[in-house]
Amino acid sequence: MALLVQKFGGTSVGTIERIEAVADKVISYKDQGNSMVIVVSAMSGETNRLVELAQQIDPRARGRELDVLLTTGEQVTIALLAMALEKRGYPARSYTGGQVKITTDSAHNKARIKSIDHERITSDLDNGRIVVVAGFQGVDEYDNITTLGRGGSDTTGVALAAALKADECQIFTDVDGVYTTDPRVEPEARRLETITFEEMLEMASLGSKVLQIRAVEFAQKYEVPLRVLSSFGEGEGTLITTEYDADKTMEQALISGIAFNRDEAQLTINGVSDTPGVAYRILGPISEANIEVDMILQNVSADGTTDFTFTVHRNDFDTALASLESTAKELNARVVSGNNRIVKISIVGVGMRSHAGIASRMFEILAKEGINILMISTSEIKISVVVDEKYLELGVRALHEGFELTKLS
Amino acid sequence: MALLVQKFGGTSVGTIERIEAVADKVISYKDQGNSMVIVVSAMSGETNRLVELAQQIDPRARGRELDVLLTTGEQVTIALLAMALEKRGYPARSYTGGQVKITTDSAHNKARIKSIDHERITSDLDNGRIVVVAGFQGVDEYDNITTLGRGGSDTTGVALAAALKADECQIFTDVDGVYTTDPRVEPEARRLETITFEEMLEMASLGSKVLQIRAVEFAQKYEVPLRVLSSFGEGEGTLITTEYDADKTMEQALISGIAFNRDEAQLTINGVSDTPGVAYRILGPISEANIEVDMILQNVSADGTTDFTFTVHRNDFDTALASLESTAKELNARVVSGNNRIVKISIVGVGMRSHAGIASRMFEILAKEGINILMISTSEIKISVVVDEKYLELGVRALHEGFELTKLS
């Protein structure tokens, strides 16, 4: 008998029929003797409908009143799911973020959770009730309604699990777990039974968009076991934990998965003087233009000048290039160049920490396929390469096979 | 400079365009130097949409979770109206019932307001903000969301006006005031500048459904000046007060208006023994069948037996008749009869308190038109007659002219 926090997203509760199916699924866990807390998003399409209403009044609608508007989306879902549970004879109670209460800071539209008072929920659980909580929302210290930013229901689930010291936080999605890579690119991709938080963070930020990064960070920080499962099918999903079990580590693969990102664009400025403050003068204007930078590379300088490269989302390429050309003039740089036909492929795994040779194995596999590497960047548990976009599928499949990800069970 | 509470119903905020129009109207009052508190209903159609969602899950949906669901309707409106005000450069703050906070009892779906904490609103008004409050909702002492029952936004407006000691509570509707009678029956019907609460209560319950009875009772109890105005047009509307001004009373009409009810049905049981408890034995089963009774008449008995008559809504006629026939057998009553082709016409006015002869004048007017009176019932400020339904228009027009309602200004 465990205390489970389960989160169902907008697609999982997108129609009355699906809400009824979620009720059946929740009850199947309840009948096994578990205490159940359910976090739900707005029905799919509802948040967009509300945003469109707001934008008819003010195209730039934001702030306090937008939060008052958007939070009605989840409030509708909690009521309907609680009704569906009650109809099946299972006592249930719904709560908005403010009722729980989930206290956040006052940053409307992108608030962060500060604390959770779980007294009411605990009392309901003690009385055998199923508790249904609106995701994505809270109140600030003055009782103003806030939202955690779009898609923040995962964070609500993890935060509640942490506050309640739940045995597991289960995130139900439209995929049945985390895969070694995207099955649409490599049909041999395999579902992972477990993955570490660090690996998950690298996978998520690199394009395996199963979970929100913030929710994973939150779960890691508070050591909440997180599980990704399918809303519509059966199966155990993928468990995300702090570290692999000792037993499993023995036969653990060196890398867990292959992530990739199709939407990269690279910008390079050559021959800038290698003096303090140059990196700031290059990236400052980019940051001020609200352009997010992914990779940043600067190699050791030879002749007193250096080459500086960074990547941005492909949509931001033109803006970033214009900014960089302007900066280049100020810095008397030699050349500015860019390429928006590139992709990033990364191998991720805690196993590579203690094993030399992973990088060279990666480069060997790519070389055998004739894939030219444009950039290389590494972190403790990840190696990323940038290649021409035409090599994406070939590269991912070759690495998936070369690191024997398919064979592992 | 006054403190005004204005209430706009679902039709008045039914589209984004209308919400924008409400914002303009509110601002026109604000620009005159008034402090403004606005109460709004759900956009028209929204409550029905939510009820239908609930009924797809449970056709008999009610109770706590239905309130969680339905209150989202007004929450959407308050956010949108606050945005529209802010867009126009007028600082605004929206509040749900729970945020205000409006505390009710725990009778879900039909809660009653117990108290209002107006501290936040007063603070906002002091800071020059326009306050927008969700009608129809509150929270009980345990912070569970409650609703005042359908259409309860009028009550929210009046209760807020009472708590804030507002100078006036203005109810904006799709009519531009209270009329001497229904203009669709009598084109000469005239808008009243003022009417007393007592008259308004008699007019409302008799079919001039401009305001909810509960809101009028509330306003009377707390002596809140209430004004009915048009959302879409201009004009002063009708002010509902405790008593007419002394000046106006001098030339006050004896009656203020003519109300009527098309949907009546009459049931009579003849020859029941005139003993204690008979009325209860007749009406008890009617009440248990959830049938509302309007008029009840029992005349003095002659031969130790009596005749007992009551009226119900025409839709309940068949059920009530079956119940009455069953009761009649138990009571050994002689005859049960009924008529569902009747209407009730009433003249209403505080002036008739001090004037004899109003009743006889009424009967004289009807007699001149050859209208046969089937039943008569009176209260302090009202005389009602029941007549065959074919005489409705003729009767109303004859009385309107006979009591010179058209001529008054």
**pLDDT per residue as tens digits for the range A93-109:** 999 999 999 999 999 99
Tokens of A69: 């508007």
CB–CB contact A65 B86 (8 Å): yes
The rounded distance, in Å, linking the Cα atoms of B153 and B74 is 9
CB–CB contact A76 B72 (8 Å): yes
Tokens of A145: 């309604």
Location of structure tokens 């699924």: A25
Report which residue type is found at B224.
V
Query: Going edge to edge, which strands form the sheet with B382-388?
Result: B293-298, B305-313, B257-273, B335-348, B382-388, B373-379
Where helices occur in A58-178 by DSSP H, the ranges are 64-70, 72-87, 97-100, 119-126, 153-164
Q: How many CB atoms lie within 10 A of CB B335?
A: 10
Rounded to an integer, the average pLDDT of A220-233 is 90
The rounded distance, in Å, linking the Cα atoms of A163 and B343 is 64
Task: Calculate how close chain A gets to B82, using CA atoms only, in Å.
Answer: 7
Judge whether B219 and B240 are in contact, CB under 8 Å: yes
- Chain-centroid distance, C-alpha B380: 19
The rounded distance, in Å, linking the Cα atoms of A19 and A166 is 23
| Residue A247: predicted pLDDT | 46
Q: Which domains does chain A show, CATH number per domain?
A: 3-173 (3.40.1160.10), 258-402 (3.30.2130.10)
Rounded to an integer, the average pLDDT of A39-51 is 95
Sign of CA dihedral B288, B321, B203, B179: positive
Q: For residue range A372-389, what is the model confidence (pLDDT) as tens digits?
A: 988 888 888 888 999 999
Q: What share of chain A is helix, strand, coil (3-state, %, to 5)?
A: 40, 30, 35
- Residue B228 DSSP class: E
Q: Helix, strand or coil for residue B376?
A: strand
Sign of CA dihedral B155, B161, B164, B165: negative
The answer to which of A68-82, B88-102, B253-267, B381-395 has the lowest mean pLDDT is: B253-267
Enumerate residues 6+ apart whose C-beta is below 8 A from B352: B254, B255, B358, B381, B383
Taking one residue from A and the other from B, the number of pairs with CB-CB distance under 8 angstroms is 105
Residue B269 has pLDDT above 80, yes or no: yes
Judge whether B288 and B339 are in contact, CB under 8 Å: no
Rounded to an integer, the average pLDDT of A294-321 is 86
Rounded to an integer, the average pLDDT of A85-94 is 97
CA distances from B240 to A102, A152, A369, A382 (A): 44, 49, 87, 75
| Residue A409: predicted pLDDT | 46
Measured between beta carbons, the chain B residues lying within 8 angstroms of A72 are: 72, 75-76
Question: Does residue B87 sit at the A interface (CB-CB below 8 Å)?
Answer: yes
Binned at pLDDT 50, 70 and 90, residue A151 comes out as low
Judge whether A197 and A244 are in contact, CB under 8 Å: no
Question: Does residue B53 sit at the A interface (CB-CB below 8 Å)?
Answer: yes
Residue with the larger pLDDT of the pair A123 and A149: A123
Judge whether B159 and B218 are in contact, CB under 8 Å: yes
The rounded distance, in Å, linking the Cα atoms of A348 and A339 is 25
Task: Calculate how close chain A gets to B271, using CA atoms only, in Å.
Answer: 49
Residue B409 has pLDDT above 50, yes or no: no
Question: Does residue A94 sit at the B interface (CB-CB below 8 Å)?
Answer: yes
The answer to which of A319-333, B322-336, B343-357 has the lowest mean pLDDT is: B343-357
Task: Calculate how close chain A gets to B86, using CA atoms only, in Å.
Answer: 9
From start to end of B87-241, where are the E strands?
A: 92-95, 102-104, 113-116, 130-134, 137-139, 145-147, 168-173, 194-196, 226-230, 238-241
Q: Is B401 exposed, middle or buried (0-12, 13-18, 19+ CB in 10 A)?
A: middle
Residue A193, strand partner residues? none
Instruction: Tell me if the pTM is above 0.90.
Output: no
Residue A47 has pLDDT above 50, yes or no: yes
